[in-house]
Structure 1
Amino acid sequence: MEKFARSFERFKKAYRKFEEVVNNPFLPDIFKDEFLIEITTKRFEYTYEALWKTIKEFLRLRGLECNSPKSCFKEAFKEGLITTEYEEVIFDMIVLRNNLVHVYDEEMAKEIYSKIEQDKFLKAFKTIINKIEEIIQNGV
């Protein structure tokens, strides 16, 4: 349970930092686009990584093993941790995260950034946080 708790706290912290950069209307006035894109994409990546690792630990507590983001998300859907409403969003997250690893030019980075800024990712992350907190309150 301790490993799950640490993982969940990392996920919530990563989410708050991602939310902070996406929802701050003053950042575009302060930072150059290049820097803002880098910050936002990195924070998205950290949040995504923390999410799937939290799901991995959550499922481990339920006696289920998964070793990759895709397998963890698949099990999370089966367990009701993530609703089918977010199935497409999770798929988009996986694709964007995988594309981030291979960003070598500014145009591709801008394209990924414009997708990451979409509110659907923040909503999905927050919904999963709320669901996990609800499950914890009712006993894992």
Structure 2
Amino acid sequence: MDQMKDVRWRQRFENFEKSYLLLKKYSQKEINNELERAGVIQFFEMTFELAWKVLKDYLESQGFIVKSPRETIKRAFQIDLINDGHIWLDALAKRNLTTHTYDDALAEKLLQDITNFYLPELTILYKKLSKD
């Protein structure tokens, strides 16, 4: 059973990696229009969803029991898998908001937050899990 959990987080990590690399690539380019901005936000939503799920799978492979994204983020912070739990919780709130609402001002602010806060935290996670 433990081996299956180990395989599951590694498989999920592969999907996270693909999405993360696309987010990194396109968030570092100049955004010239609404479509490009929406695309980066969509990559963020997808990458963040995969990130918390890979965290959950990883934690479960280590013997932890977590059920929700919030609980997963808190436990990952406690064991030093992620660096800034507050940024992760903020990213969770923003991801939940953007999946149900579209507002130009919110989208522009989110784009800045993705570049300045969320992508650096996702990069830390990517590097830590790449080593395992």
What band does the TM-score fall into relative to the shorter chain?
Answer: 0.7 to 0.9
Which among 5, 18, 23 is matched to residue 18 of structure 1?
Answer: 23
Which residues of structure 2 form unaligned runs of 5+? 1-5
Contact 1:12–1:129 under 8 Å retained in 2 = yes
Indicate the RMSD between aligned Cα atoms, in angstroms: 1.6
1:46 corresponds to: 46
Is 1:6 matched up with 2:7? no
Which among 86, 93, 96 is matched to residue 94 of structure 2?
Answer: 96
Higher Rg? 1
Question: In structure 2, do the counterparts of structure 1 residues 105 and 124 end up closer, same or farther at CA, with 3 Å as the change threshold?
Answer: closer
Give the superposition deviation at 1:126: 1.0
1:81-103 CA-to-partner distances (Å, cap 9, x unmatched) read 113xx223212211211111221
Contact 1:55–1:76 under 8 Å retained in 2 = yes
Contact 1:19–1:122 under 8 Å retained in 2 = yes
Identity %: 25
Amino acid in the other structure paired with 1:55? L
Question: In structure 2, do the counterparts of structure 1 residues 50 and 129 end up closer, same or farther at CA, with 3 Å as the change threshold?
Answer: same
Give the superposition deviation at 1:114: 3.2
1:129 corresponds to: 126
1:11-44 CA-to-partner distances (Å, cap 9, x unmatched) read 111110101111123x52xxxx210121011000
Which residues of structure 1 form unaligned runs of 5+? none
TM-score (norm 2): 0.86
Number of positions where the alignment pairs a residue of Structure 1 with one of Structure 2: 127
Provide the rounded CA distance (Å) in 1 between the counterparts of 2:98 and 2:39.
12
Structure 1 runs, 4 residues or longer, greater than 2 Å off: 104-118
